[in-house]
Amino acid sequence: MLSTAQRHSSSSKTYGERSEDPDLTPLAQYLLRLIHLKQTNLCVSADVHTTLELLQLAEDVGDYICVLKTHADIIDDFGDKTIRGLNEVSRRKKFLIFEDRKFGDIGSTLQHQYTRGPLAIVKWASIVNAALFPGPAVIPALADAARRAILAHNTSMAELGPPPYFRALLLLAQMSSAGNLFTPEYTQQCLHHARQNKNFVMGFIAQQSLNKEADDNFITMTPGVQLSAGGDSMGQQYNTPQKVIGEQCSDIIIVGRGILAARDRRRAAHEYRKQGWLAYQERVRSARKKR
């Protein structure tokens, strides 16, 4: 039997077709187009500890990815050099930067966390994520901070990284870790509030596509991916690209240690890209056959 995700029209459309939806926020349009042209639905999770390692990784895997996911707060020497380097390589190799910050505070505080301090995330990451557990005000709070940062006189275009100078949000709707407390009701609330804020929320971090209503066209990014199913000793659970993209109809696989721990990261990224892309092509093909 087909799941809700498999029955939804987005599972049978190409990334290119989905990018033409006029209701999409500009960054979502750009990302779907980028995936379509670059033929990759791979996001590498850059869980490294120095600017040098981060930039080397971006250089190594940049040709194979659509998004580079960062945890800026684990980079020991994060600073201007990191931002300038990231901007340069992401512009040259054409990928977006997603800071996996998992905002989860009252609106006023997260505006400061998004725009200030040594990380000043809004300046260099075009995608961020937030949990909805503090309530839906997190969405307009971040949207407003993004709009003000982009319009600010003292934020030069160079500082904002490569075009497009847009910002968008992923709601943290589900997690990959065992025993997590994200209930189906919480996930449904994420979907509800995403629909109310389509101009800023471009999708979800989730384990499967949540698209349900006819005009839902949210982008799903899924962490917890390796070439074989399993887990680590601290609760992480892994599914394969085939399961995540092919069966759960997610759009982007997020891979950390599957690539970081490989002897040849470039080759590993190439392999994940291939698997993710094959799973997508096969899903679209078989969904079209069934229609």
Annotated binding site for substrate: 47, 69, 176, 236, 256-257
In angstroms, give the least distance from the CB of 178 to ligand 5BU.
11
Q: In the block, which residue shows the tokens 């804020």?
A: 197
Residue whose CB is less far from ligand 5BU, 203 or 258: 258
Q: Whose CA is closest to 59, among 32, 88, 37, 35?
A: 88
Which residues bind to ligand 5BU, rule: CB under 6 A?
45, 47, 71, 100, 172, 175-177, 205, 223-224, 236, 254-258
Residue whose CB is less far from ligand 5BU, 236 or 281: 236
Closest residue to ligand 5BU: CB criterion: 256
CA distance 98 to 101: 9
Residues with catalytic roles? 100, 102, 105
Lookup: tokens for 101:
């910050």
Q: Whose CA is closest to 280, among 15, 3, 9, 4?
A: 15
Residue whose CB is less far from ligand 5BU, 177 or 281: 177
Which residues have C-beta within 8 Å of that of residue 164, sequence separation ≥ 6?
26, 27, 30, 126
CA distance 269 to 229: 17
Residue whose CB is less far from ligand 5BU, 249 or 268: 268
Amino acid present at 5? A
Residue whose CB is less far from ligand 5BU, 19 or 70: 70
Q: How far is CA 83 from CA 77, 87, 101, 123, 217, in A?
A: 11, 6, 16, 9, 31
CA distance 209 to 206: 7
In angstroms, give the least distance from the CB of 152 to ligand 5BU.
29
Annotated binding residues, as ranges? 47, 69, 176, 236, 256-257
DSSP 18-73: HHT-TTS-HHHHHHHHHHHHHT--EEEEE--SSHHHHHHHHHHHGGG-SEEEE-GG
Q: How far is CA 69 from CA 40, 62, 98, 174, in A?
A: 15, 12, 5, 17
